Amino acid sequence: MQTSTFNTPALFGDHHVTEVRRLLFEVPGVKDVYASSAFRAVQITFDEAQTSHEALARQLDAAGYLGEIPMLTEVSVAAEADSVFRHSATYETVKKTVSFQQKVPYSGRPLWNCPGMGVIKNMDE
């Protein structure tokens, strides 16, 4: 029996763990599979007479679990001339449906009660 460990950056959810285990147990000679979405790693115990480290790597790679996850890169150019916010490459697909901008008028007091904070008073009063 031999054990191989693979770093799997694309293994980030429990549904991926289930799928990786299913894929690997289809390979003849695989005896045990430990997959962790928290550590993004897979440890496989297998019979080296029936399969190899390379064959298991090919199985994981074909399913898309090896290698880096393609991510969209944020650009520093504002999407609109009057905007001061940067937008990611996904902005084109969602347009203005997602926004984190909020305008809250200042009224001279905290917006919520917070221990140790209150309205600032003048020391002369």
How far CA 53 is from CA of 29, 32, 38, 45, 83, in Å, comes to 11, 14, 23, 10, 52
Within 10 angstroms of residue 97's Cβ, the number of other Cβ atoms is: 6
pLDDT digits (tens, 9 = 90+) for 13-36: 888 889 999 999 999 999 999 999
pLDDT at position 12 is 81
Instruction: Give residue 96's pLDDT band: very low, low, confident or very high (50, 70, 90).
Output: low
CATH topology of domain 2-62: Alpha-Beta Plaits (3.30.70)
Every domain of the chain and the residues it spans: 2-62
